[in-house]
C-alpha cells in the first residue's frame, strides 16, 4: 500500500511558448496535450503515463503542486485517514480535476507546499514500447531526459524563532506516507538542527528533498540522465541554446549524483541528474553531513557553496 514514486510537478511559467520550447529543446520532453485553460502537459521519452510536467500560465514563476502516484485507488482513502489523523486537512478531488487523471488526495505539507496523491493516470507508453524495445528512440531532442526524477523544496528554517519546516516536513513524510530518510544535514550547536533531508520511497537516493531557507518555495525539479557523459552533453545543449546555467557540471557528495543546474525562461530551476549513487533501502543507515563539510556535500569537487544555489529560488 502507499506511495510508489513521483508522478508529476505543476509549475507556473510567465511565457508559455518560451517554456514549451525550453522543455522540448533543452530537456527533450514532448507535449502531449493542452487544456482549455492554456495549461500544457508534457512527458519524457522513457515515461509511460501521459504527463509528468504541467506548465500553467502565470505572472509569477514557482510550484503549484507536486504529485506522487500510489499503488491502488483505495490507498487514497487509507492515506486520507492517516493524514487527517496527523492533523492536516485534506480534500479529495474528483476524477477529471486534472485531465487523464483519476481522483486525487490534496493537502498541504507543514511548509505549505501543496502535495497531491493519485492512483490513475492515462497510460500512453514509452517512445520505445514494451516489445523488443531499443535502448533509446531515434527522435531524442536536446539532453534526452528519461524521466522526472525528484524535486527539492525550500522550507522555512529560522533557529532564532524555532521554526523548522524541514524537520516538520520530514517527520510528516515518514509518519504518514512511509518515506524513509536517506541523508540529512545537521547544523547548529551540537549539530542539533536538521537543516536538510533527502527521502525516498523507491531504491534511488531521493524522490523528494527539503532544504532550509528564509522562505518556502521551489528549489528545483530534476530529470534523470544515464551517465556523466550525458550530463556533459546536456551542458553542451544548454550552451548551444543560450540556456542560463546556475551550476556547471559537477558531483554532489550528498546522493553521489552527477549534476548540472539551470533555469527555464521563467526562472524555475531545473536539474539534470545522473548516477544511481547507491542502492537506497529502508534499512540502509542514514548518511549525515555536518555543517563544516556542507560545501563538499553539495559540490564535492570544489567543496565550496555557490551563493545563488541557496539564495535564488521560486
User: What are the catalytic residues?
Assistant: 150, 206, 220, 252, 261, 271
Dist. CA 69–CA 6, nearest whole Å? 6
Task: Provide the residue count of the chain.
Answer: 314
Classify residue 273 by burial, with Cβ atoms within 10 Å: 0-12, 13-18, 19+.
Answer: buried
Angle subtended at Cα 295 by Cα 256 and Cα 218, rounded to the nearest 5 degrees: 75
CA dihedral sign of residues 197, 201, 203, 206: negative
Percent of the chain that is helix, strand, coil (3-state, to 5): 20, 40, 40
The continuous run of DSSP H or E covering 163 comes out as strand 163-164
| Cβ atoms 266, 15 nearer than 8 A | yes
Dist. CA 221–CA 269, nearest whole Å? 7
Amino acid at each position: 500500500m502507499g506511495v510508489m514514486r513521483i508522478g508529476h510537478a505543476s509549475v507556473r511559467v510567465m511565457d508559455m511558448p518560451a517554456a514549451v520550447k525550453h522543455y522540448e529543446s533543452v530537456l527533450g520532453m514532448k507535449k502531449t496535450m493542452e487544456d482549455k485553460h492554456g495549461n500544457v502537459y508534457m512527458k519524457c521519452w522513457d515515461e509511460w503515463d501521459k504527463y509528468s510536467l504541467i506548465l500553467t500560465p502565470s505572472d509569477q514563476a514557482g510550484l503549484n503542486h507536486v504529485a506522487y502516484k500510489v499503488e491502488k485507488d483505495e490507498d487514497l482513502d487509507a492515506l486520507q485517514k492517516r493524514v487527517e489523523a496527523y492533523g492536516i486537512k485534506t480534500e479529495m478531488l474528483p476524477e477529471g480535476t486534472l485531465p487523464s487523471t483519476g481522483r486525487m488526495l490534496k493537502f498541504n505539507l507543514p511548509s505549505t507546499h501543496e502535495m497531491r496523491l493519485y492512483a490513475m493516470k492515462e497510460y500512453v507508453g514509452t517512445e520505445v514500447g514494451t516489445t523488443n524495445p531499443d535502448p533509446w528512440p531515434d527522435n531524442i531532442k536536446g539532453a534526452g531526459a528519461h524521466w522526472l526524477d525528484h524535486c527539492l523544496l525550500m522550507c522555512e528554517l529560522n533557529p532564532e524563532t524555532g521554526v523548522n519546516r524541514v524537520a516538520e516536513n520530514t517527520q510528516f513524510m515518514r509518519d504518514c506516507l512511509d518515506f524513509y530518510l536517506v541523508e540529512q544535514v545537521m547544523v547548529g550547536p551540537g549539530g542539533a538542527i536538521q537543516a536538510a533531508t533527502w527521502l525516498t520511497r523507491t531504491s534511488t537516493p531521493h524522490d523528494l528533498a527539503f532544504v532550509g531557507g528564509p522562505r518556502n518555495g521551489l528549489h528545483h525539479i530534476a530529470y534523470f540522465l544515464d551517465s556523466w557523459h550525458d550530463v556533459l552533453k546536456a551542458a553542451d545543449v544548454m550552451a548551444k541554446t543560450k540556456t542560463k546555467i546556475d551550476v556547471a557540471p559537477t558531483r554532489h557528495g550528498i546522493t553521489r549524483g552527477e549534476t548540472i543546474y539551470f533555469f527555464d525562461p521563467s526562472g524555475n530551476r531545473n536539474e539534470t541528474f545522473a548516477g544511481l549513487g547507491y542502492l537506497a533501502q529502508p534499512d540502509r543507515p542514514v548518511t549525515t553531513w555536518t555543517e563544516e563539510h556542507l560545501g563538499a556535500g553539495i559540490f564535492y569537487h570544489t567543496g565550496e557553496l555557490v551563493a545563488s544555489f541557496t539564495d535564488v529560488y521560486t
